[in-house]
Chain A
């Protein structure tokens, strides 16, 4: 059986809530993506098909692992602040999120 490469960038399949009038935009790696109020940054990124949030010190790609703030694998640069856990930060309009490389400094 072939691998599953068709990771869709649309958020229709992943969010239970419908994108309503209160949808707003944030920026991930320079591109605009849509977010819903109350979501964590991790949820917004996953809903938009972005699983790869960081590259570790050995260069390997990493993403959300525990989802509850224990593992620190989803740390990225949120509004310029490195080592922010995407799963623990609530998304806000106009936020900019970047992939973190190594320690992020």
Chain B
């Protein structure tokens, strides 16, 4: 959105492809209904309103395609998109990918039961649907999202019984410089923690899930302390009854499109696994392909917003090399903001570091690849037989071949294949079109621009 606004302002012809029904993306998600729902703190709401207003002002002047999916990107650039019934091939001068991240959880027995969800799902259903997902909610995870989601749910009147964190929150206090640089975010975090304290939500430090139990949906979760390396400590188990268990153990970058276009990648576990390499103006190693925001490595909503402006400006001047010096001068404020938030984000990324012991949570029968129902045992068996690359594991077991395109399990499969030691040694699976499921009807009804 931010990139579209900036590029349009600089005179570019803009087409915006959005999978959602309404603009806003994940963070500034709008209510699907017409009722006003207040989720989040005043500061966040102010930024949301400002961006949506700026977007509304240009909406009629750009080609906004909501409910559209970009399912392939080739050099050129050549972008393939589809909606429910039709498809189209676009050949723009520049493609700015702002695909963001998706959530990540770690497999453990019972994690596929209905009611075991990602924390972002509970948040999205609250923001867009006005729904309190769960009557007794337990949240487990790492990093800042579990606390934020818990507080937002509590403020909406939901009953959150416990928040189990991988690391104690006080770890952040050891980095005063980072806290100062991210003080506006820290302030929000503090307000969220206060909400939890006032509402007597239990904050459980260094506790992680052992198993989820239930018949047709989750009825209880067993938690235990871990020994610092992620392994469960015997004798510390505790069972809590719940109908929703919301998980978030970090994120995976949605990188299929950049990968398909042949962009150079690097492995960065704190930033969401394999991430496209970009320069200061969001350009990649492939001409005409740019990546902005979390899609170029997890750094949070504020970096994404100012990086969108950078990418939009750079895209508008892409084939005008003479303007680069001037452009850099004009974007000085954005560069400074990105640097400032970057310091804080690096500290946040450390709280998302997964110790090796977490890969022992799953037992042999635990499903790792949800789409294809592939168990931990099956993946280990394939590795033992010599299928040690991601492509090899995929071909041998079908893990990562399903509906989600491997986005849900790819990072976990790499970690399991290397026992958590060096998932970065395994380059991602070769991305094949289609990056998203597309119906034959859509492909048949190809529109010509």
Contact = CB atoms under 8 A, between A and B. Distances in A.
A40 B219 contact: no
Contact of B33 (A37, A61, A63, A66): A37
B129 interface: yes
A67 interface: yes
Contact of B243 (A51, A57, A65, A70): A51
Contacts, number: 150
B113 interface: yes
B135 interface: yes
Chain A interface category by residue count: 35 or more
Given A2-B241, A53-B114, A63-B217, A70 B130 contact: no
Contacts of A87: 121
Contacts of A1: 220, 239-241
B43 interface: no
Contacts of A42: 125
Most buried by B among A46, A67, A75: A67
B130 A66 contact: no
A5 B129 contact: no
Contacts of A32: none
A41 to B, nearest CB: 11
Contacts of A7: 135, 217, 243
A71 B136 CA distance: 24
Interface in B156-206: 156-157
B102 A67 contact: no
Interface residues of B, number: 57
A67 B242 CA distance: 19
Nearest to B159: A13
Contacts of A30: none
Interface string B117-148: 11011101100111111111000000000000
B342 to A, nearest CB: 26
29 contacts: A1-B220, A1-B239, A2-B220, A5-B219, A6-B135, A7-B135, A7-B243, A13-B135, A14-B135, A15-B130, A16-B130, A16-B131, A17-B35, A39-B131, A51-B114, A63-B217, A64-B133, A65-B116, A66-B102, A67-B117, A67-B122, A68-B26, A68-B121, A70-B407, A71-B403, A71-B404, A71-B408, A72-B403, A75-B403
